Amino acid sequence: MISEHLPILQVVIPLLAAPLCIFLRGRAAWGLAALASGSALAISLALLGRVLSTGAISYALGDWAPPVGIEYRVDAVNAWVLVIVSTIGAVVGPYALLSVEREIEARRIPLFYAAWLLCLSGLLGMAVTGDVFNVFVFLEISSLSAYALIALGRDRRALTSAFRYLVMGSVGATFIVIGIGLLYSMTGSLNMADLSELLPGVWDTRTVRVAYGFLAVGFCLKLALFPLHLWLPNAYTFAPSAVTAFMASTATKVAVYMLLRFFLTVFGAAFSFDVMRLDLVLLPLALAAIVSMSLVAIFQENVKRLLAYSSVAQIGYMILGLSFASATGLTATLLHLFNHALMKGALFMALGCVMYRIGSVRIEAMAGLGRRMPITMAAFVAGGLSLVGVPLTVGFVSKWYLIVGALERGWWPVAALVLLTSAMALVYVWRVVEAAYFRQASAGARRSGEAPWSLLAPTWALVLLNLYFGIDAMRTAEVARVAAELLLAGTGR
Amino acid sequence: MREEIIVRVGAKILAPFIITFALYVHFHGDYSPGGGFQAGVILAAAFALLALVYGLDEVQRVLPPRFVRGCAALGVLIFAGAGVATMALGHGYLAYNAFAYDPAHPEGGQHYGILLVELGVLVTVFGVMVSVFYLFAGRGRREDPQ
């Protein structure tokens, strides 16, 4: 009986746990948050298993049949995204306990976990729903709680970066809701599957094209595609460590999913690629993001900011896969959603361990840390290798598919550029490694010991996932392939 | 304004009517304009009026900030919990037909369901509105707005 309600429980469990956190104190609030994140992972894995064996699941909210009522619709694509978000939630949840106690005032901790769970349920909701207005509602839930989470950072600059994110994010959300409103005015429907059937009849109207433009700009703002990424580096740099690890691996990923869902399922691949030429719009932006942001990352002194710029470059890889307009390219995009979540999660969590011990993540402060915190820095190195794309890590798998996709289209300069930017990633990862292993320890690093195991265990869990799915990529690549074909085929209804 | 007798007595007379009107707007929300959001704002306005006339401290003795914040959380619990209740009764999430008192007319449950979730909206909006008012009204008075 429970199993038929899984799509709604995916959202409702964190949503119910969030207000309960407000009535709890300190560690009890954390326990509830960790429990809710863990159960979200169990539900998403169950959903993915069912979707892969029996096809899409539809759940009608309030027993109102779609397309009139709100429909939650899970297929291989969003089940995959649900697994990504809830995996990171379930790993960062246990990690948060000590990291948050160190970085956030005690009286704000229950509020922190309430906002955390709201953010989680918002992200899961965006992924699970099959209703475009519902997407907007969950987008606002996740964004508003994200602004609050970022503003809780210890540095006072966290406030200004959260405010800047709020302004940019609200502009993005407004563009999205305008786009949705225009679609509704043309079709009278808000259901994704229904829209995908109604839209071909009105393709040739200016309203639909304007809606397409609004949605494109809105989603690109939310997913931080160059040059709309300006909110991201500061937000990631000054947010609490656990928040950075969580947001960097989930928020932009869900935005990429929304872009894919709207432009490939709702509008249809044919409209996006043949009429609107989305691929030609995204290709230069993706390449600019990859090259310029990798270059900027090389010159950063704060490692968190370095990784934030690298995130913008990595988002470029995802969009690059989409711009190939092929099944291989999309497989690369979907694989990289998961793989990038694993590697950036591991890297930001290793930085959180450093922050916990020495209170700074500047490169000069991390000098000599390789001897003082060997387990933490080993995790960082493993995550860094994955970011570069060394074989036996997940980064290699995504880059492989990306290069195969580029060669399929005959775009060998693009393939060469992917290789070149991997070398640039090596440069910025190496700067940290060089400081940590080959320089004299700074005063702070000399005093510090290894981070506590409750921080190291979740970090290493992600590192091991990086290696496991780098060696045995069959399962992830298969799911990504199924999802990519589903996206290109349309609704699958 | 604390010395103005007309304002003080006027606010005291108005407050219960504003609160009653908030409840009216809530309970008629399912078939006429209104609902939980508007009712919550009106309810909060009653206490904002009292705070303007009698001072913030007097109102916070009746509605402590902790209680108000609890209200904001409780409303979400009522709304989401209503959905869980319908699931427990063997229906879908937020399928209000589960609340029907007469099995021959399951759609009668829709009234109760809407009133229940709107009650959740009322409590949350009231809590958030009063919290926001407290934060603005309390600025510069204390270090700790909690």
Q: Which residues of A touch B68 (CB under 8 A)?
A: none
Handedness of CA B11, B17, B23, B29 (dihedral sign): negative
B76, B90, B95: residue with CB nearest A62: B95
CB A347 within 8 A of CB A341: no
| A5–B87 CB contact, under 8 Å | yes
Other beta carbons less than 10 A from residue A46's beta carbon: 16
In one-letter notation, the amino acid at residue B70 is G
Q: Which residues of A touch B70 (CB under 8 A)?
A: 22-23
pLDDT of residue A444: 59
Q: Which residues of B touch A12 (CB under 8 A)?
A: 80, 83-84, 93
A284 burial type by CB count under 10 A (0-12 exposed, 13-18 middle, 19+ buried): exposed
Distance from C-alpha of A463 to C-alpha of A455, rounded to nearest angstrom:
13
A19, A60, A62: residue with CB nearest B73: A19
In one-letter notation, the amino acid at residue A445 is A
End-to-end CA distance of chain B: 26
Of A426, A329, A427, A338, the closest CA to residue A387 belongs to A426
Of A78, A74, A37, the closest CA to residue A58 belongs to A74
B65 burial type by CB count under 10 A (0-12 exposed, 13-18 middle, 19+ buried): middle
CA A155: distance to chain centroid?
24
CB B96 within 8 A of CB B113: yes
Which residue on chain B is closest to A69 by alpha carbon? B95
B72 CB near a chain A CB, below 8 Å? yes
A65 CB near a chain B CB, below 8 Å? no
Of B58, B59, B69, B47, the closest CA to residue B127 belongs to B69
Q: Rounded to a whole number, what is the distance in Å from the CA of A4 to chain B's nearest CA?
A: 9
Of A429, A225, A384, A217, the closest CA to residue A312 belongs to A225
Quick check: helix, strand or coil at residue A191? strand
CB A373 within 8 A of CB A362: no
Handedness of CA A79, A492, A319, A129 (dihedral sign): negative
Q: Which is it for strands A71-74 and A57-60: parallel, antiparallel or unpaired?
A: antiparallel
Q: Which residues of A touch B69 (CB under 8 A)?
A: 22
Q: Rounded to a whole number, what is the distance in Å from the CA of A436 to chain B's nearest CA?
A: 41
How many cross-chain Cβ pairs, A to B, lie less than 8 Å apart?
A: 51
- For the record, the structure tokens of A57 come out as 């699941």
| B69–A22 CB contact, under 8 Å | yes
DSSP letters of B47-78? HHHHHHHH-HHHHHHHS-HHHHHHHHHHHHHH
CB A432 within 8 A of CB A384: yes
- For the record, the structure tokens of A68 come out as 């009139």
Quick check: helix, strand or coil at residue A74? strand
Q: Rounded to a whole number, what is the distance in Å from the CA of A22 to chain B's nearest CA?
A: 7
Of A315, A279, A260, A328, the closest CA to residue A78 belongs to A260
Distance from C-alpha of B124 to C-alpha of B101, rounded to nearest angstrom:
27
A60 CB near a chain B CB, below 8 Å? yes
Give the bridge partners for A59, in sequence order. Answer: A72
Residue numbers of chain A with a pLDDT score lower than 70: 1, 442-447, 490-493
| B77–A8 CB contact, under 8 Å | no
B111 CB near a chain A CB, below 8 Å? no
- Kindly tell me the number of DSSP H helices and DSSP E strands found in chain A: 21, 2
Q: Which residues touch A268 (CB under 8 Å, ≥6 apart)?
A: A196, A199, A200, A490
CB A367 within 8 A of CB A433: no
| A62–B96 CB contact, under 8 Å | yes
pLDDT of residue A272: 86
Q: Which residues of A touch B65 (CB under 8 A)?
A: none
pLDDT in tens, A289-344: 999 999 999 999 999 999 999 999 999 999 999 999 889 999 999 999 999 999 99
DSSP letters of A75-124? -HHHHHHHHHHHHHHHHHHHHHHHHHHHHS-GGGHHHHHHHHHHHHHHHH
From the candidates B93, B94, B111, B144, which should be mutated to test the interface with A, based on the most A CB atoms within 10 A? B93
Q: Which residues of B touch A1 (CB under 8 A)?
A: 90
Long-range CB pairs of A176-179 (<8 Å, 24+ gap) are: A176/A135, A176/A136, A176/A139, A176/A214, A176/A215, A176/A218, A176/A219, A176/A222, A177/A136, A178/A211, A178/A214, A178/A218, A179/A211, A179/A212, A179/A213, A179/A214, A179/A215, A179/A218
In one-letter notation, the amino acid at residue B105 is H
B76, B77, B146: residue with CB nearest A107: B146
What angle (nearest 5°) sits at the alpha carbon of residue B77, between those of residues B75 and B81? 125
B70, B77, B92: residue with CB nearest A16: B77
- For the record, the structure tokens of A335 come out as 């694989």
Distance from C-alpha of A207 to C-alpha of A202, rounded to nearest angstrom:
9
- For the record, the structure tokens of A6 come out as 């899984």
| B84–A12 CB contact, under 8 Å | yes
- For the record, the structure tokens of A98 come out as 């000590």
Of A350, A321, A366, the closest CA to residue A457 belongs to A350
Question: In order along chain B (146 residues), what is the average pLDDT of each group of 10 residues?
Answer: 81 93 87 85 94 90 91 92 87 83 79 88 94 88 54
Which residue on chain B is closest to A108 by alpha carbon? B146
Handedness of CA B100, B106, B108, B111 (dihedral sign): positive
Give the bridge partners for A57, in sequence order. Answer: A74
Q: Which residues of B touch A59 (CB under 8 A)?
A: 92-93
B70, B97, B146: residue with CB nearest A63: B97
* Largest interatomic CA distance in chain B: 61
Distance from C-alpha of A296 to C-alpha of A291, rounded to nearest angstrom:
9
Q: How many CA atoms lie within 13 A of B131 on its CB side?
A: 16
Rounded to two decimals, the pTM is: 0.92
ipTM of the complex: 0.87
From the candidates B94, B114, B144, which should be mutated to test the interface with A, based on the most A CB atoms within 10 A? B94
- Whether omega for the bond prior to residue A227 falls within 30 degrees of 0, making it cis, is yes
| B77–A20 CB contact, under 8 Å | yes
Distance from C-alpha of A95 to C-alpha of A97, rounded to nearest angstrom:
6
Distance from C-alpha of A429 to C-alpha of A388, rounded to nearest angstrom:
8
